[in-house]
């Protein structure tokens, strides 16, 4: 993954009806570890990582980089949204020069089923379009990941192609600023 490039970072915290999209802080460390150690969160993302390994490896201030939003509900982190550039070597592209902006999301299981991911992703896409107007955004997810597939459709991503990677069928969709989201 490569950073997005010429965007003003970090933006001021972005407020939605129920959430805040912000930079990571030291107090988010336990939630970052939880995301990567959770078997539910990691079902379609290569499986959970051992908690003791994460306790050693995760820095005091995790996730402080361009394109990574912490999603905050009532003062606590419930997930992350990322916007990065898709590596040219990976399969699936919509631009001849590759390097598409790619959306990713991970939410803690207790935050699923409330519409928080959809609300936060719509805000992140809005921010992206303000920064880089007219650029499409892609998203890849396993077709078996029902929740993620539903979220992609709700946000307005439309199918570009399906392909095999990491022993599973992957779905790639594209979103354009003209496409309604949320």
C-alpha–C-alpha distance, residues 182 and 180, integer Å: 7
What phi and psi, each to the nearest 5 degrees, are found at residue 121?
A: -65, -40
- Chosen residue from 54, 125, 151, 172 binding ligand COA by CB under 6 A: 151
DSSP-assigned letters across all residues of 7-71: S-SSPPPEE-SS-EEE---GGGHHHHHHHHH-TTTTTTTT-PPPHHHHHHHS-SSTT-STTEEEE
Q: Which of 27, 30, 115, 169 binds ligand COA (CB under 6 A)?
A: 115
Residue 41 in contact with ligand COA, rule: CB under 6 A: yes
With tokens 């631009």, the residue in question is 95
What three-state secondary structure class fits 5? Answer: coil
Residue nearest to ligand COA (CB): 115
Q: Is 36 in the site for ligand COA (CB under 6 A)?
A: no
- 160 near ligand COA, judged by CB under 6 A: no
Question: Which residue stretch of 61-69, 93-101, 106-114, 126-134 sits at the interface with ligand COA (rule: CB under 6 A)?
Answer: 106-114
Q: Out of 4, 70, 101, 117, point to the residue binding ligand COA (CB under 6 A).
A: 117
Q: What letter does residue 128 receive in the DSSP assignment? A: H
Q: How far is CA 109 from the centre of its chain?
A: 15
Q: Does 19 bind ligand COA (CB under 6 A)?
A: no
- If binding is defined by CB under 6 A, does position 91 make contact with ligand COA? no
The least distance separating ligand COA from the CB of residue 150, rounded to whole angstroms, comes to 6
**112 is a site residue for ligand COA (CB under 6 A):** yes
Give which of 143, 79, 153 is closest to 117, Cα–Cα.
79
Asked if 69 interacts with ligand COA (CB under 6 A), we say no
Residues that bind ligand COA (CB under 6 A): 41, 44-45, 104-107, 112-118, 141, 145, 147-148, 150-151, 154
């Amino acid at each position: 993954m490569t950073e997005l490039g010429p965007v003003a970072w970090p933006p001021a915290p972005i407020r939605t009806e129920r959430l805040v999209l912000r930079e990571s802080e030291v107090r988010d460390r336990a939630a970052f570890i939880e995301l990567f150690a959770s078997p539910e969160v990691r079902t379609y993302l290569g499986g959970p990582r051992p908690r003791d390994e994460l306790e050693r490896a995760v820095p005091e201030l995790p996730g402080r980089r361009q394109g990574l939003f912490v999603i905050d509900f009532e003062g606590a982190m419930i997930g992350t949204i990322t916007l990065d550039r898709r590596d040219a070597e990976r399969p699936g592209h919509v631009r001849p020069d590759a390097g598409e902006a790619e959306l990713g999301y991970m939410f803690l299981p207790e935050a699923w089923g409330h519409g928080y991911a959809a609300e936060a992703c719509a805000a992140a896409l809005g921010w992206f379009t303000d920064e880089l107007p007219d650029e499409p955004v892609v998203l890849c997810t396993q077709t078996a990941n029902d929740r993620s597939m539903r979220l992609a459709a709700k946000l307005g991503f439309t199918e570009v192609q399906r392909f095999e990677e990491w022993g599973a069928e992957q779905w790639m969709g594209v979103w354009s600023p003209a496409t309604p989201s949320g």
